[in-house]
Structure formats: C-alpha cells, structure tokens
Amino acid sequence: MVVTIRDVAEAAGVSVATVSRIASGSDYPVGARTRERVEAVISALDYRPNQSATDLSRRDTHLVGVLAPDMANQYYAEVTRGIEDAAQTAGYQVLFSSTDRRKGRAESALEALLRRRVAALVILGGGDEVSLTRKQVTAYGTEVVLVGRPSDEFPTIQTDGESAGQEMASHFVGLGHERIAFIAGSRGSTATRLRLAGVRKTLRGAGLANPATARGGYTEEGGYRAARELLEQAAPGERPTAIIAANDRMAIGAMAAANDLGLRVPDDVALAGFDDTPISAYVRPALTTFSLHSAQLGAEAMQQILDREEGDTAIRHRTVEGEIVVRASCGARPA
C-alpha cells in the first residue's frame, strides 16, 4: 500500500501543508518539535513524496490565489468564503483579485497572481474575460482549479446550469405560468447560457413559446432596466407573468422595477433568481431562488488543490447539486 502525504499528516497530527513543507525542505518556518515529529513519522512509514507534490512544494505552498469576476457579488463572496475556510484549516492563506469582468484587467490580475508563484490558482465564474491554457501556467508550475467554468485542461467544480434552468422553469410552469421571461447576465457568461438553455428546453417541452429575454449584466441596476424593458414593451396581453433572472441581484432589481410600475409581486408578475445570496431572504416579498451551495463550491475547489498536492494528478470534474428555495416572490407557498 502506497503511503500518502495525508497518511503522514494524520499520524503526526499536523496539516498536509506542514508535511509538504518539511518533506520538500521548504524554508517556511515550522517549530522544531513539530519538525522532529513529522520527520520521525516520515521515516517510520517510509513515505516518499511524489514528484508532483514536490514540484508544488517548491512554490509558495502557503498561498492560494483566487481570481473572481466581481467581489461585490454576494455569490462570489460566498464561494471565496468556502475557499478561505478550507484553506485556513489546511494551513494556507488566500490572495484575492477581481477582474471586474474586463479582459484587460483579467489578464493583468492573472499575470500578477502567477508571478507571485502561488501554490494554486482558483478561477471563479464562466465569463469570457479570462483566457487560460495549460501551456500558460506550466511555466509557473501552478495548479489551477476552475469553479463554474467547463474545461478539458483543468479540474473543475460546477453545478449543472442547464438542469437548474429546467428546474426553475418547471416550477413556474407548474404554477400555471405560460408567459415566462428571462433576464440574462453578461455576454459570454457560461452560467447565463446554460440556465437559459434549460429554461428554453422546459418551455419547449411544455408547448410554450421561447422566453422573451433582456440583458441585465448581473447587477441590480441592469435587472431593473431589463425588467422594465420586458414589462413595458410587451404587446397588450403578452406581458410576462413570470420573470426568471440569471442571478439574485438582477431579480431584486426586477422586483424594484415591478413595484415602480405599480405591479404586485407575485400577483401581477412572479419573480425568481439564482445563487441564494443572503439578501434574497430579506427583501420583501422574499425572493424564490436556486441555491448553488456557494460555500460548498469553494470548499470543493480547495479540496481539489489538496488532492493534487497529495499526488492525484487526474483532471477531475466535480458537480455540486443545487436546489430551488421557494419563497414568496413566486406565488407558491414556501415549503
């Protein structure tokens, strides 16, 4: 049986990161007694670090970089909280940077994190402002995990966006809605594309028309403008009776738009979002949403990093299941 770095860590009563630092000869400070105990366990178990773990330990093993599109977005704040909690438990610190959904800023932020020679890099979101290849990161020897972005080159953590869109649309169809609209996020967004595909698939299956769509850019202001467009520009008798927004921020903006137009939520127009951000439970009416278990996504991403440090070099794709959280804004009785 092959002895792993986790076996040594458990036997010595220390973190995986501490074993990695000692086994690799890192100059990161470790107490003398801890070092002696770990070295004794390494010798007793005849532990031999694998090459990928050794390569990782030559970098700054106590630092993980996180690149997010928008740190003001509560969804990304929750994901990064999950990363940071898991990272600190394992003896890592986290360095955050935001792209602001701009390509130039994304390129400079990515380059800055790589030049810091972080042990690993977690990239959040599926926007097209970040472009990354295996060849690009090989020169730095940095491990990469993607959250919410499909890839054949890197490990990924995702929810099934299309199934989530289908489930949310099915919820509204089940409530009797036939005119359902959709507020999209940013252009090039993987989440928007998949969620809208799921909504369309459900509506086609129910014999209903494709949803009217407007773009809200993932902000409250954008959701407000998009909802007014959908509600004011519809032909008589064609106004949507339900609006699904690709995130909670846009759904909250849509709620404000409906109120300003004198429409009652959910009696005149029902609303729902995605992400189950903390504020969604405290607007009135409380917002129906799709929970992505954001903190769990972050914790799973950090676990991928720890697994790779341990020597698991396979490109693994993990899916975290989500669920609808029914609240007052959709018109259904909460469970």
Tokens of 67: 């690149």
- Whole-model pTM: value is 0.77
Average pLDDT along the chain? 88
**Residue 129 pLDDT level (bands cut at 50, 70, 90):** low
Tokens of 258: 């409906």
| Per-residue confidence (pLDDT) for residue 83, from 0 to 100 | 95
| Per-residue confidence (pLDDT) for residue 335, from 0 to 100 | 59
- Dist CA 150 CA 320 (whole Å): 14
- Dist CA 169 CA 247 (whole Å): 14
Using a 10 angstrom Cβ sphere, with 0-12 exposed, 13-18 middle and 19 or more buried, the burial of residue 240 is buried
Fold for 60-159+294-321, please state it. Answer: Rossmann fold (3.40.50)
| Per-residue confidence (pLDDT) for residue 51, from 0 to 100 | 46
In the sheet that holds 143-147, the strands lie side by side as 93-98, 60-68, 118-124, 143-147, 156-158, 317-319
Fold for 5-49, please state it. Answer: 434 Repressor (Amino-terminal Domain) (1.10.260)
Sequence spans of domains, the chain: 5-49, 60-159+294-321, 161-291
Fold match, 60-159+294-321 / 161-291? yes
Fold for 161-291, please state it. Answer: Rossmann fold (3.40.50)
Helix 161-174 and helix 190-205: axis angle, to 10°?
40
Cβ within 8 Å of residue 155, ≥6 positions away:
144, 145, 146, 304, 308, 315, 316, 317, 318
Q: Which three-class secondary structure state does DSSP give residue 65?
A: strand
* Radius of gyration (C-alpha) of the chain in whole angstroms: 23
Tell me if 225 sits within 8 A of 161, measured CB to CB: no
**Residue 133 pLDDT level (bands cut at 50, 70, 90):** low
Tell me if 200 sits within 8 A of 211, measured CB to CB: yes
Give the pLDDT confidence of 38-85 residue by residue, as tens digits.
889 988 888 876 544 554 444 556 889 999 988 788 899 999 999 999
Residue 132 has pLDDT above 50, yes or no: yes
Q: Write out the DSSP string of 75-87.
A: HHHHHHHHHHHHH
Give the pLDDT confidence of 266-323 residue by residue, as tens digits.
999 999 999 999 999 999 999 999 999 999 999 999 999 888 877 777 788 999 999 9
Residue 11 has pLDDT above 50, yes or no: yes
Residue 245 has pLDDT above 60, yes or no: yes
Strands (E), the chain: 60-68, 93-98, 118-124, 143-147, 156-158, 180-184, 213-215, 242-245, 270-272, 289-291, 317-319, 323-325
